[in-house]
Structure 1
Amino acid sequence: MYVNRTNGFPTVIDVPREGTAPLLAKVLGITALGFFVTAIGVATAPPWSMLPGFIAVLALVFGINAVRRTNAGLAMALFMALAFFMGWEIAPIIHMYVRMIGPGIVFQAAVTTGLGMTAMGCVAYLFSIDYRKLSGIALAGLLLLILAGVASMFFHFMSPNTYSWIALAIFTALTVADFARIRAGGDGMGAVSLALGIYLDAINIFMILLQLFSGRSRRD
């Protein structure tokens, strides 16, 4: 599920905030619709849905990147398909937490994710941020975290809780970078591609929070 993208040239933010407001509104509208479709995917997912959902999401990410510059309508359709199958991918995990702890933990994680995304969007719009540099640093950190997680499976030097907090910090940085990219005018990317970045950031943050909140609930 850890999917994102960047490239590396110096960034100059020279677009007035009001000039990017329509783009931001479009991106947020597409993202919100994606979350609604994901909820449908979660509600309709069969018990065996995780692996097919993962494969479909991975294929659709590549599909969106392949057609985003040539066919915006097809990219939008592929994004909605991705959102549906993302629901399939995460549904077994969500249903497990609901059975173990209750539906309130899902609501708590969703609300916290929404509030956090709002705060990160405000930070990106209030300050001039070199989104390429921030995204590059965060992606490098994510790669190192994944490698450390694999190594920890054998040497047990990192607890799951520590791993989750570090992952949350990394995806927070990626989210700020993605909002800053919109603030800077989109970096030549279309609304669907920008929405895909925000959507994937939010899904990852939601799943991390769900794990952290569930750990706290079990300790309580």
Structure 2
Amino acid sequence: MYVNRTNGYPTVIDVPREGTAPLLAKVLGITALGFFITAIGVATAPSWSMLPGFIAVLALVFAINGVKRQSPGLALGLFLGLAFFMGWEIAPIIHMYVRMIGPYVVFQAAMTTGLGMTALACVSYLFSIDYRRLSGIAGAGLLILILVGIVSMFFHFLSPTTYSWMALAIFTALTVADFARIRAGGDGLTATQLALGIYLDAINIFMILLQLFGGGRRRD
């Protein structure tokens, strides 16, 4: 049982599985709404939307973590705004794959992401997982992968496909850790903060799968 002591009072964050069902339902509901808003963002994004979308998403991530529990309604509103501008950020890439290959590759990546996230959630709830350790290892791996990717841009020792598979493995671990955190009671985070973690995991996995499925394919 993990215990986090704040101001001298123990806060138990490992609770019975059935006790976290309402939290999980709330997190998944917020996340699903976020994906719907993202779809609207993709559909309405102008051709120049990637950079403004990226800047807005980055600012809103900090804003959501800043308001925390002080204003849950504001945090939810900021999350939905983030989801919309995430659609702006990824829209040019999605439209490129649709033009080059066709809409099926986007559908395939989205369906695989959904099924994969469901499987990872089941793993997190069926097994006892030290989410703090797993999150730390995966976070360090992601930082190393980013540095390796930057170096590889100059020396070309890592193929894009290999890089994508490595990134997929890291975000898979992060997803398991984030679901395990919910299973443990949330670790003091709000439902919106937890939903943000799951949402960003899913978006990254979707974009990686889109690249893997689209790589080397051409429109017939």
State the TM-score, normalized to the length of structure 1. Answer: 0.93
Q: CA RMSD in A?
A: 1.7
- In the TM superposition, what whole-angstrom CA distance separates every residue of 1:45-73 from its partner, at most 9, and x where no partner exists? 00000000000000000000000121100
1:182-219 Cα deviation digits (max 9, x unpaired): 00000011100000000000000000000000015349
Structure 2 match to 1:191: 191
Partners in 2 of 1:99 and 1:56 — Cα distance?
Answer: 26
AA aligned opposite 1:93:
I
Q: In the alignment, what sits opposite 1:85?
A: 85
- Give the corresponding residue for 1:45: 45
The code of the aligned residue for 1:29 comes to G
* Equivalent position of 2:9 in the other structure: none
Distance 1:49 1:74 in 2: 24
After superposition, where does 1:76-115 map in structure 2 within 5 Å? 76-115=76-115
Higher Rg of the two aligned structures: 2
Q: Which residue of the partner structure matches residue 72 of structure 2?
A: 72
Q: Is the 8 A contact 2:113 2:205 kept in 1?
A: yes
Whole-angstrom distance in 2 between the partners of 1:89 and 1:14: 36
How many angstroms apart in 2 are the aligned matches of 1:83 and 1:123? 26
Q: Which runs of 5 or more structure 1 residues have no equivalent in the other structure?
A: 1-8
- The residue number in structure 2 matching 1:135 is 135
Name the CA shift for 1:17/1:216 in 2 (closer, same or farther; >3 Å): farther
Range 79-88 or range 66-75, more displaced:
66-75
Equivalence for 1:159 = 159
4+ residue runs of structure 1 moved beyond 2 angstroms?
216-220
Tell me the distance in 2 between the aligned counterparts of 1:24 and 1:103: 32
Match of 1:33? 33
Q: For residues 161 and 218 of structure 1, do their structure 2 counterparts lie closer, same or farther at Cα, with a shift above 3 Å needed?
A: farther
Structure number with the bigger relative contact order (C-alpha 8 A, sep ≥ 6) is 1
Contact 2:49/2:91 (8 A) holds in 1: yes
How far, CA to CA, are the matches of 1:116 and 1:218 in structure 2?
A: 25
Residue 70 of structure 2 aligns to a residue in which SS?
coil
The separation in 2 between residues aligned to 1:45 and 1:171, in whole angstroms, is: 26
Quote the offset at 1:13 in angstroms.
6.7
Q: What is the aligned residue count?
A: 211
